[in-house]
């Protein structure tokens, strides 16, 4: 438990978030998920390159984006995120929209 010196309030137990304890656990889980997403996204090679390569015009080449993804240490996290959040546009984890749809169909 930690004391917030500005307010004198103690932090570190579930009820600090307000509401029912079960609801608070959901908030904590959501915050952890966001933190995890931010960590891998900050390490992603695409964050250091031109984003337009990852969202080509219809019929445009995906080659450059896929090449960048191949050397990216968080490629698997990226693909997992795209599948979990039903990302319908762009290159995620080295796969195009069409490739992700095929992958999802095979998984079902």
Binding site for [4Fe-4S] cluster: residue ranges?
Answer: 46, 69, 72, 78
Q: What b/e sequence results for 91-101 when a residue is b if at least 16 CB atoms lie within 10 Å of its CB, and e otherwise? A: bbbbbbeebbe
Burial status of residue 65 (CB atoms within 10 A of its CB: 0-12, 13-18, 19 or more): buried
Annotated binding-site positions: 46, 69, 72, 78
64-to-25, 44, 69, 72, 102 alpha-carbon distances in Å: 41, 15, 9, 13, 21
- Residue 64: which of 86, 91, 44 has the closest Cα? 91
């Amino acid at each position: 438990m930690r004391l917030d010196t500005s307010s004198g309030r103690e932090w570190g137990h579930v009820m600090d978030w307000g509401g029912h304890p079960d609801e608070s656990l959901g908030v904590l889980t959501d915050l952890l998920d966001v933190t995890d997403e931010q960590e891998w996204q900050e390490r992603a090679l695409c964050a250091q390159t031109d984003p337009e390569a990852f969202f080509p015009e219809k019929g445009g080449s995906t080659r450059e984006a896929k090449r960048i993804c191949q050397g990216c240490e968080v490629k698997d996290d990226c693909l997992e995120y795209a599948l979990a959040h039903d990302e319908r546009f762009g290159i995620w984890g080295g796969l195009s929209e069409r490739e992700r749809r095929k992958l999802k169909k095979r998984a079902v």
